Amino acid sequence: MSALLRHRLTWPVLALVLLLLLNQLFRADFLSVRVQDGHLFGSLIDILRNGAPTILIALGMTLVIASRGIDLSVGAVAAIAGAVSCMYIYSSPDPTSLRTAATGVAIAVVAGLVLGAWNGFLVSVIGIQPIIATLVLMTAGRGLAQLVTDGQIISVSNDSYQAIGAGFFLGLPISILIAAAAFGVAGLLTRRTALGTLIEAVGINPVASRLAGLDARTITWTVYIFSGLCAAVAGLMISSNVTAADSNNAGLYIEMDAILAVVIGGTSLAGGRYSLVGTLVGALIIQTLTTTVYTLGIPPEATLVFKALVVIIVCLLQSSRARTLLGRRRRPVTEQSQVEVAV
Amino acid sequence: MSVLTRTPAPLDRSRLSRLQGRARYAPTLATVGLFLAMFAVGAAMYPGFLSGQVFLNLLIDNTFLIVLAVGMTFVILTGGIDLSVGSVVALSMMIAASLLQAGWNPVAMIALVLLTGATFGLLMGLVIQVFEIQPFIVTLAGLFLARGLCYVISVDSITVTDPFFTSMAQARIPLVGKLFVSPGVVIALLVVAVAFYVLHQTRFGRTVYAIGGGESSALLMGLAVPRTKVLVYGISGVCSSIAGILFSFYSLSGYSLAATGLELDAIAAVVVGGTLLTGGYGYVLGSLAGVLVLGIVQTFISYEGTLSSWWTRIVIGALLLAFILLQKLFTRKVRLT
């Protein structure tokens, strides 16, 4: 029992379950899932579908944070990805074909990889602090997206493209299938190979990991490229869901949601230990929280206040000081202070 | 005599140290140089650019950013960051507009807004200090909270019709010739002057620099590190609420979506102004120069009618990058010598 209480996923999962039950109390049909028009339909499916971009970006963010970094530019990268793909589809001679949609998607993915590589270059080669390095793209990125779309909201009507964010496959939303696939691949690559341990090693102590013979630079570079890729695909989902590229609002504040999901999931912002499943639960909590606000009839504008309160409470609970005050786990405090002295 | 002939060695060293002393100003001087160069280019390209009023308009249009950058300088000097400033500006504007609508006395209202900003900042500082959470994540929560509170106050834009505010918006303080500034400029420059005094002439200011230089060393020296770290966020909060009031003078309304992304501009201004993001080095006057550089970028874009507004963001991003790289170079040089 105490082992269960101490497991780092216990509290996030409990919070998620409580949130879902709270919704069920206020809306009797909340947890029901039925089949309509050949696919699953219901609030739970909506949560999955709307949460897919956040889940995907949070996945990339988890690995970046595990390497003691942070990627603030994901929202801007998502906007750029949506902008380039919609612009390509919009200006192509055959804007409704599958081929055009596929090329647009490919362009967006390449853009995401390039932007991720740019962040990785600034962090790993030039050696700029991650917050600052990605701040550059966060500042300039939306400008770039507007440059691509010439400041307009570009609407496209391409069924194949629309399927990414709004389509269904085997009764499930395609967006959540993409996110699940990305999770599966990332999980296999980092947990079934040594890659995850290497990322954690870089996050715990970059210098020591380099001295131990790790190519810390390549690993850092890789996580930022992966984050860029996730952000680009999420950007495709967002723009495909509304069949338009909105450079100003696509993915606005999504970096905050992603970081929040990672933190709720129990990954330490100080780098090192990370949990992909925790991030998944964290992202679902955030999406459910947004839905809860609607269900309870609270003005949707107040969502931000709730999110802020959740971040504060979660961070306070995670801080070593609070744990000391609660009277358990005294040792991590001394460990941390030793690390600080060592740094 | 032989003693005198041997003097070149120490002389060299003193020259070196003097160079290092001057090198501390290098990033800030680079900013001032950049500003003057941009102004010169503007004067060469556009008729009517080279006028005192164009320069003064830079101040008039950026009063709130100047004040924000001042508060941000304090925080960044300690090695922290405050992402909440844009939202606190919007919150201050919303409180101001809604209280004026409810018939409050402007002076009482301004006092309450400043108190709110200070409390907001101090609370964030306390959480950062007491619970040892990264400033970045705490102020991020602050960003959400303040922005959310704006929506709670009102989703719609509230117009300010208070006679004091409208008179402040229209007031022009004449200078020599036909030049003029707005009352907001006077307030903003006053804030800069006070910040300059506090940073360079008080024990508090020295502690701020010491924390940025090395927190554990500052602690071992017996400086009031915890108190100072909390207070800088309080200062940033006060500056944000002053900026909110100045923004209200400028826009005569309160709107929940106002000042989005202003925190990025403030951070960019501070970095472009030569303050090291790792803390310890930097000047509040540099941040003022940083704001002027960002302002002149905007002026350029409005003078050049063909360039669209999004170029502002791209240019600010590029400037940010250039100055970060410059800082990187500069800190590496210092370490080598």
Per-residue pLDDT tens over the stretch B59-82: 988 999 999 999 999 999 999 999
**Residues 52..111 of B with a Cβ closer than 8 Å to A: which?**
81
Flag if A306 and B143 touch (Cβ within 8 Å): no
pLDDT, tens digit only, all 343 positions of chain A: 566 666 777 778 888 888 888 888 887 777 777 777 777 777 888 888 888 999 999 999 999 999 988 898 999 999 999 999 998 988 888 878 888 888 989 999 999 999 999 999 999 888 888 888 888 888 788 888 888 888 788 888 888 888 887 778 887 888 889 999 999 999 999 888 888 888 888 888 888 888 888 888 899 999 999 999 999 999 999 998 888 888 777 777 788 889 888 888 888 777 788 889 999 999 998 888 888 887 777 777 677 787 788 778 877 776 766 667 665 544 444 344 434 433 3
Q: Which two tokens stand for residue A47?
A: 């949560």
- Which residues on B lie below 8 Å from A128 (Cβ)? 324, 328
Q: Identify all chain B residues contacting A326, using CB atoms and an 8 Å cutoff.
A: none
Mapping DSSP to helix (H, G, I), strand (E, B) and coil, where does residue A73 land? coil
Domain residue spans of chain A: 2-297, 304-343
pLDDT in tens, B30-55: 888 888 998 888 888 888 777 888 88
Residues 6+ apart with CB under 8 A from B172: B180, B181, B182
The pLDDT of residue A329: 47
Residue of A nearest to B319 (CA): A136
Domain topology for B28-39+51-336: ABC transporter involved in vitamin B12 uptake, BtuC (1.10.3470)
What is the pTM (predicted TM-score) of this model? 0.82
The answer to whether residues B218 and B284 touch, using CB atoms and an 8 Å cutoff, is no
Q: Look up the ipTM and state it.
A: 0.77
Q: Is a pLDDT exceeding 70 seen at residue B289?
A: yes
Under 8 Å between Cβ of A280 and A51: no
Are B148 and A302 a contacting pair at CB < 8 A? yes
- Per-chain mean pLDDT for chain B: 84
In a mutagenesis test of the B interface, which of A137, A306, A311 is the best target, namely the one with the most B β-carbons within 10 Å? A311
Closest CB to A256: pick one of B144, B318, B324. Answer: B144
> Which of A135, A311, A336 is nearest residue B144 as measured by Cβ atoms?
A311
Q: How far is B144 from chain A (nearest CA, A)?
A: 5
Q: Which of B151, B268, B271 lies nearest to residue A304, judging by beta carbons? A: B151
Nearest to B132 among A70, A143, A320 (CB): A320
Residue whose pair of structure tokens reads 């504007």 in the numeric block: B93
B334 has pLDDT over 70:
no
Instruction: State how far residue B136 is from chain A, nearest Cα, in angstroms.
Output: 9
One-letter amino acid for residue B228 of the chain: T
Q: Give the closest residue to A98 by CA, choosing from A172, A153, A167, A50.
A: A167
User: What tokens appear for B154 in the block?
Assistant: 């009102």
Token pair listed for B8: 């070149």
Q: Give yes or no for A298 touching B (CB within 8 A).
A: no
pLDDT digits (tens, 9 = 90+) for B95-109: 999 998 888 888 999
Instruction: Quote the distance between the C-alpha of residue B56 and its chain's center.
Output: 18
Helix/strand/coil for B277: coil
B3 has pLDDT over 50: no
Region B242-255: what's the mean pLDDT?
A: 88
Please tell me what DSSP assigns to residue A219: H
* Burial annotation A39-65 (CB, 10 A radius, 16+ → b, else e): ebbbbbbebbbbbbbbbbbbbbbbbbb
Q: Pairing relation of β-strands B173-174 and B180-181?
A: antiparallel
Which of A70, A133, A321 has the CB atom closest to B131's CB atom? A321
CA dihedral A319, A325, A331, A337 (to 10 degrees): 60
Residues B265-278: pLDDT tens digits? 899 899 888 888 88
In tens, the pLDDT along B185-238 reads: 999 999 999 999 999 999 999 999 999 888 889 989 888 899 999 999 999 999
Between vectors from CA B125 to CA B123 and to CA B127, what angle results, nearest 5°?
70
- CB B85 within 8 Å of CB B72: yes
Paired tokens of A192: 């079934």
For chain B, domain boundaries: 28-39+51-336
Helix, strand, coil % in chain B, rounded to nearest 5: 75, 0, 20
Q: Report the C-alpha gap between A199 and B115 in whole angstroms.
A: 45
Residue B263 identity (one-letter amino acid): E
Confidence band, pLDDT 50/70/90 cuts, at residue B124: very high
Q: What is the 3-state secondary structure (H, E, C) of A82-130?
A: HHHHHHHHHHCCCCCCHHHHHHHHHHHHHHHHHHHHHHHHHHHHHCCCH
Contact A135 B131 (CB under 8 A): no
Query: What is the reported pLDDT for B287?
Result: 93
Asked if B313 lies within 8 A of A143 by C-beta distance, the reply is yes
The CATH code of domain A2-297 reads 1.10.3470
